[in-house]
Amino acid sequence: MLQVAGEFADGTIATWCDPAAIERVIVPGVCKAAEAAQRPAPRVGAVVAVTVTDALDVARDKAREQFSVYDSLPRYKRMVDLGEGERAADVCVIGNEAEVRRRLRRYADAGLTDLLAAPFVVGEDASASRQRTLECLADAVRDF
């Protein structure tokens, strides 16, 4: 996939990849193919589930429950395995504002050019959870 994307497309979008997978596999693979095809450096996007919360254990439990289906799908599991996590929920960015910004910065440092944030809500007040996450993301996207 990375070779084809590098040779013929303007970039690629990865799903269930953590920063280590982006840095070690995705960026080098697509860039090497683009260079060999004498094409400009490709864009690298990733879909990342994000929630800003102080209820870390609750959020991690919800992520494991909500995203466990991806652990049984070989293509997604392979993406998780390219990085440092053991399951899809490990790729989710969960934490308070400072932690979420720090973890998203790590994606940018790994070579990610386009963040496709997928906010997920935690807690009884879904609207407040979504709003808190969106506000943090609005600030964090300046790194991309």
CATH number of the domain that 45 lies in? 3.20.20.30
Confidence at 143, pLDDT banded by 50, 70, 90: confident
Taking residues 104-126, what's their average pLDDT?
A: 96
Q: Is the pLDDT of residue 142 over 90?
A: no
Average pLDDT over residues 62-89: 97
Is residue 120 within 8 A of residue 66, CB to CB? The reply is yes
When pLDDT is averaged across residues 84-102 and rounded to a whole number, the result is: 97
How far apart (Å, rounded) are the C-alpha atoms in residues 125 and 104? 24
Q: What is the pLDDT of residues 45-61, one digit of tens each?
A: 999 999 999 999 999 99
What's the count of helices (H) and strands (E) in the chain, helices before strands?
Answer: 8, 4
Domain that holds residue 131: 2-143
For 78-108, give the DSSP string.
HHHHHSS-SSHHHHSEEESHHHHHHHHHHHH
**R_g of the chain computed on alpha carbons:** 16
Which residues on neighbouring strands pair with residue 51, listed in sequence order?
94
Contacts of 127 (CB under 8 A, 6+ apart): none
The tally of domains found in the chain comes to 1
Percent of the chain surpassing pLDDT 90? 95
SS3 label, residue 2: helix
The pLDDT of residue 15: 95
Average pLDDT over residues 87-91: 98
Per-residue model confidence (pLDDT) at position 141 = 83
Q: How far apart are CA 31 and CA 130, in angstroms?
A: 35
Percent of the chain with pLDDT over 70: 100
Of 142 and 66, which is predicted with more confidence?
66
**Looking at residues 102-119, what average pLDDT do you find?**
96
Helix (H) or strand (E) run with residue 55 in it = none
Phi/psi for 49 (5° steps) reads: -75, 130
Average pLDDT over residues 32-52: 97
